[in-house]
Chain A
């Protein structure tokens, strides 16, 4: 307010500049911006639904999410994870939608894209009004809106900022600086014109949310132009995951990777641009050894069911050396580090087999290493495995390296290639 009165008392001569400044100020004001959200909300709320998975035995809702109408022939888009319990156990659940007035309609499942967490359901009603998919590109900083039913509290609109596509990720989702909440999954992300730019999918942290770009939805819609409600979805999940890992690892293994120096060790650097790498070194005064550490992880997790995620890739290298520790002490230091990376992608002992490991000393070009490789298979996804390698060099009593690679949801062939490529990439450079 101070600023306004002072500005108005300014001598005439720059009235247009003053007006522009005022206009900018007003537009940036939250109450004014909300008019956009308000209009959007009333214009689109009829097309946004709560999607419910109903437990047949109790008749109550088992899980909820959001969805929105994307065509005149009854198709509603949502997330795969919203309807996944129905996909896995269609005999135990049914699907229904609830519109803004509280009317419910039964839904059938049309198509899924498990890799990008999308699903199409249908309520089989013909209507002229549905949300249109945006075609124009957004630029960073554009205001975008997201609708959904957070925590079953009622239909909500939130606004935030478009911040481009997520970097260092296998599946480049839109980074939405706004606060999505549980239950908003599957709801639409809209531009200022009320066109769909993506589908709400996940929350990364305070004011960090992720939205699947609308192109993926468009592809899924094209795939489902001939609505064929089916039940063969579990085979489709497996083949989609197999195809996705094939694309990813084929590209990764074909590429020649930059070399990276870590102590006396040269290794394959960042295996994939989708990995996020961190480094640190240990040289505290009371520690009698030096260590340089690089750890890379992909934060891409594909939701398969509440108890199973796949798609993780971790790559860890630690180079250690000492002048003070004796052989035994250094050896124990290494032994402590000779640990497989834990997989936290499932808690369900039924979902995976027990690990089967093969441990041996192996003579590589870079010298002798102890290798331990462990595999486990998924009980419901034939052909996909969790694979982990940990290896430590044996040749030198005062320097050593520990290399770890772990991939979840990978085919046998790709896993063996990946493990071998990583094992053979290491080289000592004195």
Chain B
């Protein structure tokens, strides 16, 4: 080990304090004549010293009021263990890392959403616009699609709730970002939530109409579950990328989404107390012929009833 470096704390992606040994000795303590001065009241005025000999750098504990740990192992006042690059020293409430100046560093990681992340501060216009587009699109679709009387209140209430949820969601992730990276990126989080919600609105419409060509609610349901999984994964991926430095944000997002979808699926499938009675209800395709799609030619009545007869026959066999 050539030169000893002591590192304490990381803030805003920078190392807060980095102390390089000048020569053969480096001292740490609360008094001002140390090489590295710690303000921790649990640290002695002269706490630890590092010195070099032929073998390398050694650590010496100078005060035993509080125990000193090297890599979680207590070091007594009478020993002078060798220290290595990457070791940690804990004393009082302070944790320090030891490095060698020759230590190789991780190769530069590509920053995803770099443009957004750098531009975020103060620009709230775009996220609010996306949120507004989502709310209006969802409201418009809901109203234009399903309102049979002039009732504005009900769909508007739904959108208002969705907007509130999006803001809360973004707020929680902004807090996470503030804690982990010291940057909340609230606007960016809000845009992520709003974009995913907008995408959801479109996909829900698709899920409903998908039953039509297949005459099967199962297809719709499968599509809806699949789409929910992807949307959750996308949302978590964006949230995590913005708020944290996770190396494998994608894998974590997929795992979180899978967990949520599994829990939701289990809840709807098995947690329903009316499940027993549901078995007594028919399951059939409720999609008729959606306005945007061309009308089917239609089977002949003979064909339809012949197929129905076949189906009833298999029902009787399975009885």
Residues of A within 8 A of B (CB): 286-289, 325-329, 331-335, 338-340, 342-343, 346-347, 349, 352-364, 368-377, 379, 382, 385, 388, 392, 394-395, 397, 412, 415-416, 419-420, 423-424
Contact = CB atoms under 8 A, between A and B. Distances in A.
Contacts of A374: 282, 284
B285 to A, nearest CB: 4
15 contacts: A288-B149, A328-B146, A329-B144, A340-B284, A342-B281, A347-B277, A359-B215, A359-B216, A372-B284, A375-B312, A385-B315, A394-B289, A395-B295, A412-B316, A419-B305
Interface string B144-159: 1111111100000000
Contact of A349 (B280, B299, B300, B311): B280
Nearest to B288: A370
A47 B318 CA distance: 48
A395 B151 CA distance: 28
Contacts of A331: 145, 288, 290-291
B309 interface: yes
A368 B309 contact: no
Interface string B288-306: 1111000111111100110
B291 A353 contact: no
A191 B81 CA distance: 115
Contacts of A354: 279, 283
B287 interface: yes
A416 B283 contact: no
B11 interface: no
Nearest to A390: B284
Contacts of B279: 349, 354
Contact of B309 (A370, A371, A416): A416
Given A334-B288, A340-B281, A347-B280, 7 more contacts: A288-B150, A353-B315, A382-B316, A394-B295, A412-B309, A415-B312, A419-B305
A361 B308 contact: no
A145 B276 CA distance: 44
Contacts of A372: 284-285
Contacts, number: 145
Nearest to B296: A361
Contacts of B288: 331, 334-335, 338, 370, 392, 394
A358 B308 CA distance: 6
B118 interface: no
A333 B280 contact: no
A362 B305 CA distance: 10
Top-9 shortest CB links A-B? A363-B298, A355-B282, A327-B291, A374-B282, A357-B284, A361-B296, A332-B146, A328-B145, A361-B298
A357 B305 contact: no
Given A329-B147, A360-B215, A412-B309, A388 B282 contact: yes
A373 B148 CA distance: 27
Contacts of B66: none
Given A347-B280, A374-B282, A335 B287 contact: yes
Contacts of B289: 361, 368, 370, 394
A288 B284 contact: no
B307 interface: yes
Interface in B66-114: none
A424 B148 contact: no
Interface of B: 144-151, 215-216, 276-277, 279-291, 295-301, 304-305, 307-309, 311-316, 318-319
Contacts of B277: 347
A343 B282 CA distance: 10
A404 to B, nearest CB: 12
A332 B208 CA distance: 11
Contacts of A382: 316, 319
B304 A362 contact: yes
Given A332-B146, A394-B289, A340 B307 contact: no
Contacts of A392: 288
A408 to B, nearest CB: 12
B305 A335 contact: no
Given A362-B304, A416-B305, A368 B284 contact: no
A129 B288 CA distance: 67
In this complex, the member of A326, A331, A376, A392 whose beta carbon has the largest number of chain B beta carbons within 10 angstroms is A331
A332 B284 CA distance: 17
Nearest to A326: B144
B145 A332 contact: yes
A352 B280 contact: yes
B309 A289 contact: no
Contacts of A357: 282-284
A330 B119 CA distance: 46
B315 A371 contact: no
Contacts of B301: 362-364, 420, 423-424
B286 A335 contact: yes
A355 B278 CA distance: 11
Contacts of A338: 286, 288
Contacts of B276: 349
A359 B299 contact: no
B290 A356 contact: no
A420 B290 CA distance: 25
A351 to B, nearest CB: 9
Contacts of B296: 361, 368, 394
Nearest to B319: A377
Nearest to A328: B145
Nearest to B149: A286
A329 B148 contact: yes
In this complex, the member of B276, B283, B304 whose beta carbon has the largest number of chain A beta carbons within 10 angstroms is B304
Given A329-B144, A412-B316, A356 B150 contact: no
B311 A358 contact: yes
Contacts of B295: 361, 368, 394-395
